[in-house]
Structure 1
């Protein structure tokens, strides 16, 4: 959030760092005189389709739902007075506008991927006003939004993901009406929270939960993580729910796991409907059925669509990903153990032969348009899903005879910017929720079929620079503007905000101002269709006569002052090192970068929070933290600067004696020798199989690890890396109950029995 600093001097040091400390150890960048303009570019769609903006200016939106009377409820970060990450709101879109008053504001943990994540309306919402929310509630004891509290069995320490029922009257949700239904969903490392909610035809509420960054939780039915849950909420003030008909409801020792603060136990959880999921962030039910189609965000190799027609299935995580053993690519014919269910569709993190990050966003069904032109016939009954990172929307087509699903090619849409949800509207059209490139200008957009109708063009503008002396020549560009149906030439009409304007077919124009002060520049684009269509206006604010403010960031490794790279669990402090005297507000955020995409880590920390703790559970080496500082001067001109906190990496080598045998490193089956790079301090589970085949009835039997660990144990990545060797002995046997041992020893183990 913003807070006054009013001329922060260079001496304002919260952590007492030496001058220029940040400059000597960190990657840094500056975006001076930042010009903010429209961030969501329409999708590239098949001919005849239109991508229309419905709601704009949303702050980190996460989910939306249509009410029976045509309103739209949207979940976003912040409140009416603050964009603090630890508050979240339900907004109401009504009669064509986003109401300024929030329907509900909650205290949440909004760091990492936590927050207010899911919403569903009761089937009898028009009568009872019940709204169901999935959100990360703050801890009952200790730090409100802590990490790595997983061993705590009480549920008091650390936040938990919660499902609650609220009552809405008019455009307001009464916070005092909260009835807590489920309160035991672990969110130990901040990631993999899932959070989708949908009612089925059977009246049950289906809930998706992530494994909370602890992959082993997904595989067992004695906890609520990495699951699809199914409950029948009770009516009235008593709350509660039934789990009748669930696969583990009548199992020996079965218990309700969500009704109190106790998170773990020995018996199966009666709420569990499906398990073995990593992060099923979004799912949908096929209309007229209780069949779930679950988009499960994968690890390093595969993204999945899982068809869940009945309960009790295990969808493989963490042992399997896609159709393969975890962490591997494989080709048909697939070999699936009978204890697991394969996905209906899976796609690899590969594009044009190169590995790319991916994050599936499921999904919505198109069943026919109620108002306006219907989609062409081939889209009827299709299941649509998206990818948050890669920006596409794909569709799956069901064979009416066999019921088998296949993916239509090419992709239905490309060019998305942070799609976080797909929704079927009351009008039957598909809608999608986009967070945007910086989470500050999110939108709800509609995909409709326009047929041969001349569609409006899209206006995109950039201005260089964002500010400067009064004699500055400002360069305006309409590059990126386009018309979906190519009704060219296009006419670009510029309003410079000082009473002057120009209409031209040129992409670039210049302008010089004669008076200082903030100016709002507007661009509209007119096509040459019949009749001509005009784009929605694009706006940007520039600052002639005002030099951009300046600032630098100071970072400190609080855990180990002077150490320039982070280990797992380090605490880092951040603050303003120096700023120009005209700076009046500062806005901070911290992003966690993973290869070629990023996650919000501290999207908007409160002013008193000037530290963060690095992730305990990151399994990849290509990671870092980017600390952003946005400063604004008295005119409102902004400058954004950043500094990167880089990891300390170490190399680990795993082998067997004899070499060439199999090991399990993390969740991946590998053949030795195997080498990986990890952040120092990361825990890695290593498993040596008890036996491995040799020839005929002969086999290798595990003997010992070189570090004296158990056959399955955890290795904490040391500063200097290291080699870990699993020693085996060869057991030679035949058809007689007599065998001979050939012991194979490592030198360091030669005295062991």
Structure 2
């Protein structure tokens, strides 16, 4: 922080350049404005470079923040030449000094609070400073709160500060162009905070436990709450949230804990999880529509001469469409009404002054205006013409603002004599000569009376040629990618001064988006050439471009301004889903695929799934992106058109999922054959060529995975695996386990046909591992197949019916009748289930009926053991 006027001369020298820029952007000083009868706009002061916000002191002074870090004071209607303070900030894009508030007890403690971006661009900060008259006390900064680390995006910083009725400090913070921030309570971005004046957590906040961020959050789900207002008597809080492509919102955050839905929803939503705005207006180009809500204020002054119908209403403004509207809050539903139109562009920061008038800032004209209401019938000049000195050959304009009963007429005079045709509120001399020097005034009349303005003196100095500026680099029709370094260079000559030096140059960049303008990357003054980098994050729209300005000034103060436009290379990003018609997120907002959007090459976009979601009565969950993982990704727009496809799987409720598993697992094993005859059982592979074979029945063709449970006493062995007589693995390796405890670490992917398939594992050496289970799986469904003794009658296989079952299950058991068999039943969590049957072990019985009435619906695995033979079947209980 640099108190006082340490950089005053440098920055005041640039003031003329920025005023001229305002002229060039708007093409005129004053647009055709329209107000309700009796209301008039009056200029308070000019010379405020890039204003962002203001605060009114009890003694009538107005503290105005400039984005580059300075705080100016307007005192008795005059802009003081010295800065109140000059902070070192990063002012790239929407960063900088963007929030200002005076303590409720400012008269006694002289505390001023500021929200600004640190010079290293690492984070935004909230600090307290102490005033000493019209200057800050050096070294008085007290840091209250360092906010979360910033991304490379230079937009969506929020910044507004206001004290609530309870004396707590409320803070508005943008989402830092990372929309997911808004829904996370553990990060400050995209929130309204409520803090004590020392930065600590106050009592009464809605989230009482968790992270320090969460405890300070008052409201969330916001995109860029650049401004908000607190009604003095009631404490009602209206938050003005700048929207993306559709809606601008005014949200009621009076009650803590509300979620306003960004990025899941914008504008009004039927989802009860999100609080709807009090009022929202769409993007368009008429009165009441716009592109960015840049200010709003409750009108509850202590004293005012405004008509009583405006008391308690809410005034708000739009950055692009040059209007101020008013919300009538007297009824149960707010009603929008027009108020002012035809204002200069980039108006912001509307507020209520101590005098009961509305005030607002205009960036393009570097000015502070107020809106007054008068009832005088006779004319009255409320804004006087000002004296001016100009070189011969240059234009000049005198203008006034007058009030009175319509219709007012104007007559300009020079040295007391009427000027023919000079009958408007302004008088312009397109090309001055020495003969134009003199004193000018205007007489304003209506049917009631007349008024005469103050005299304004025109001094004309000898003719001086204006300089001629040229931008040499970049060339015309230059195109860029996000992330590119743009090099610029210029030259200038002057008829009197010759070639102008670098110190006579001033450069700046505007970032154009649709019909409105943002500050571009900051670049140095006093140079003929330099460079800047196009950001890779920030605005994601494709209708954008940059305009580079060079302003050159000669020794007599005349200037020439030239500019060069550079446009982006664009690619198309196509979003698709499998199956088609599902939703994904683009830059945090849900969109329905297929969708194609144009995007600046190199600009970062975020994509992600919407999971779960429902389409045509079916529920889907996200599985993967075809191009890469993870689910939520930040991608740089490639230099070629690209398609990103999200794959979804149908999601079943538990009963549906188990039914699907039962269908998949169906009939499992028809026969097993082994080459080894020593014991007669297939799970021993003790010689070359011994094999185990399973016949597997699956309902659909597709890719499946195999895995084996095995035992091997020592060393390692290889198995050759064939599927339907085709080799799937030539040497699948198994290592020593010593017991039936290990699953093979090979997850072998195979293709199976719908219906019956044969899987054979053959020893490739003198012996192989002993195998007792095979797993066949697809996605989340798994078949567990056990080996069994070769049957002399292959058709005589275990049968179960009905499947799905209800009250009972019939088993037809083909095993040798002389041997006892044992039944075990497991649920789909692998837990042993009590059959509640009369017997669980029988001998000599080929058919048994199992009671199921006491078992819940779901998937079950029935295991049957007879001697060394084991068999399993899967069935489903359906109610």
Normalising by the smaller structure, the TM-score range is 0.7 to 0.9
Native 8 Å contact 2:626 2:644 kept in 1: yes
Which residue, 199, 202, 205 being the options, matches 2:163? 199
Choose the corresponding residue for 2:515, options 596, 600, 609: 596
Indicate how the Cα distance of structure 1 residues 521 and 612 shifts in structure 2: closer, same or farther if over 3 A, else same: farther
Match of 1:450 in 2: 375
- State whether residues 119 and 133 of structure 1, in contact with CA within 8 Å, keep that contact through their aligned partners in structure 2: yes
2:83 is matched with: 102
**Is the CA contact (8 Å cut-off) linking 1:204 and 1:230 kept in structure 2?**
yes
Could you tell me whether the CA contact under 8 Å between 1:687 and 1:713 is conserved in 2? yes
Q: Is the 8 A contact 1:424 1:431 kept in 2?
A: yes
In the alignment, is residue 224 of structure 1 matched against residue 188 of structure 2? yes
| Alpha carbons of structure 1 residues 417 and 610: separation in structure 2 relative to 1, 3 Å | same
How far residue 604 of structure 1 moved from its aligned partner, in angstroms, is 6.3
Match of 1:349 in 2: 283
Matches within 5 A, 1:133-152: 133-139=114-120
> Which of 363, 368, 377 is matched with 2:296 structurally?
363
Shift of 1:126: 0.9
Match for residue 65 of structure 1? 55
SS in structure 1 opposite 2:322? Answer: coil
Deviation at 1:732? 9.1
Q: Does 1:398 align with 2:318?
A: no
Cα contact 1:478–1:492 (8 A) shared by 2: no
Q: Is the 8 A contact 1:134 1:162 kept in 2?
A: yes
Aligned to 1:669: 590
CA–CA distance in structure 1, aligned partners of residues 512 and 28 of structure 2: 24
Shift of 1:475: 7.5
Greater mean alpha carbon deviation, residues 104-113 or residues 683-692: 683-692
Instruction: Map 1:527-606 onto structure 2 (within 5 A).
Output: 527-529=444-446, 530-534=448-452, 545-555=463-473, 564-577=478-491, 579-580=493-494, 581-583=498-500, 585-602=504-521, 605-606=524-525
Matches of 1:512 and 1:712, distance apart in 2: 61
Corresponding residue number in structure 2 for 1:48: 38
Q: CA offset at residue 66 of structure 1? A: 1.6
Task: Confirm or deny that 1:304 pairs with 2:224.
Answer: no
Alignment length, in residue pairs? 642
CA distance in structure 2 between the partners assigned to 1:476 and 1:73 by the alignment: 31
Structure-2 change in CA distance of 1:44 and 1:292 (3 Å):
same
Is the contact between residue 89 and residue 102 of structure 1 (CA under 8 Å) also seen in structure 2?
Answer: yes
CA-CA distance at 1:107 after TM superposition: 1.3
Query: In 1, Cα distance between the equivalents of 2:159 and 2:458?
Result: 35
Paired residues of 2:466 and 2:558 also in contact (CA < 8 A): yes
Tell me the secondary structure at the aligned position of residue 62 of structure 1.
strand
Superposed counterparts of 1:127-526, under 5 Å: 127-139=108-120, 158-188=121-151, 189-234=153-198, 241-248=200-207, 250-251=208-209, 253-255=210-212, 268-324=213-269, 335-336=270-271, 338-351=272-285, 357-367=290-300, 370=303, 374-399=305-330, 404-437=332-365, 441-450=366-375, 452=377, 454-456=379-381, 486-493=406-413, 502=419, 504-505=421-422, 525-526=442-443
Q: Structure 1 residues 701 and 187 mapped into 2: Cα distance closer, same or farther (>3 Å)?
A: closer
| SS of equivalent residue, structure 1 residue 126 | helix
Which runs of 5 or more residues in structure 1 are unaligned?
A: 4-29, 78-84, 140-157, 235-239, 256-267, 325-334
Alpha carbons of 1:113 and 1:306: their partners in 2 closer, same or farther (altered >3 Å)? same
- How far apart, in 1, do the equivalents of 2:632 and 2:430 lie? 69
Conserved 8 A contact 2:227-2:295: yes
Cα offset, 1:515, TM superposition: 5.5
| Separation in structure 2 between the aligned mates of residue 614 and residue 520 of structure 1, nearest angstrom | 48
How many angstroms does 1:301 deviate by? Answer: 0.9
Q: Partners in 2 of 1:500 and 1:615 — Cα distance?
A: 58
Please give the per-residue CA displacement for 1:159-189, whole angstroms capped at 9, x wherever unaligned. Answer: 3211111111222211311101012244432
More relative contact order, 1 or 2 (CA 8 Å, 6+ apart): 1
Q: CA deviation at 1:526?
A: 3.2
CA contact (8 A) 1:552 1:578 kept: yes
539 and 422 in structure 1: CA distance in 2 versus 1, 3 angstrom threshold: farther
SS across alignment from 2:643: strand
The residue correspondences of 1:740-751 to structure 2 (distance < 5 A) are none
The alpha-carbon distance between structure 1 residues 535 and 242, as it changes in their structure 2 partners (threshold 3 A), is: farther
Whether the 8 Å CA contact 1:113–1:193 is kept in 2: the answer is yes
Q: CA deviation at 1:544?
A: 6.4
Q: Which residue of 1 aligns with 2:838?
A: none
Contact between 2:379 and 2:445, CA under 8 Å: does it hold in 1? no
Aligned counterparts of 2:434 and 2:25: Cα–Cα separation in 1: 19
Say whether 1:723 aligns with 2:670: no
CA distance in structure 2 between the partners assigned to 1:707 and 1:695 by the alignment:
27
Q: What TM-score results when the alignment is normalised by the length of structure 2?
A: 0.65
Deviation digits for residues 284-338 of structure 1 (CA, Å, limit 9, x no counterpart): 11121222111111111110111111211111112121114xxxxxxxxxx12x3
SS of residue matched to 2:29: coil
Contact kept? 2:385, 2:454, Cα under 8 Å: no
Aligned partner of residue 385 in structure 1, secondary structure = strand
**TM-score scaled to structure 1, two decimals?**
0.75
Instruction: Confirm or deny that 1:614 pairs with 2:534.
Output: yes
Question: Unaligned stretches of 5+ in structure 2?
Answer: 1-6, 11-19, 665-698, 704-748, 752-777, 780-879
Cα shift at 1:384: 0.8
Query: What's the secondary structure of 1:270's corresponding residue?
Result: helix
Q: Is the 8 A contact 1:275 1:314 kept in 2?
A: yes
* 1:629 CA displacement: 0.4
Distance 2:339 2:638 in 1: 44
| Bigger radius of gyration among the two | 2
Q: Tell me the CA shift for residue 345 of structure 1.
A: 0.7
Query: 2:111 touches 2:130 (CA, 8 Å); kept in 1?
Result: yes
In the alignment, the residues of structure 1 paired with residue 468 and residue 647 of structure 2 have an alpha-carbon distance, to the nearest angstrom, of 59
The whole-number CA distance in structure 2 between the counterparts of 1:424 and 1:510 is 37
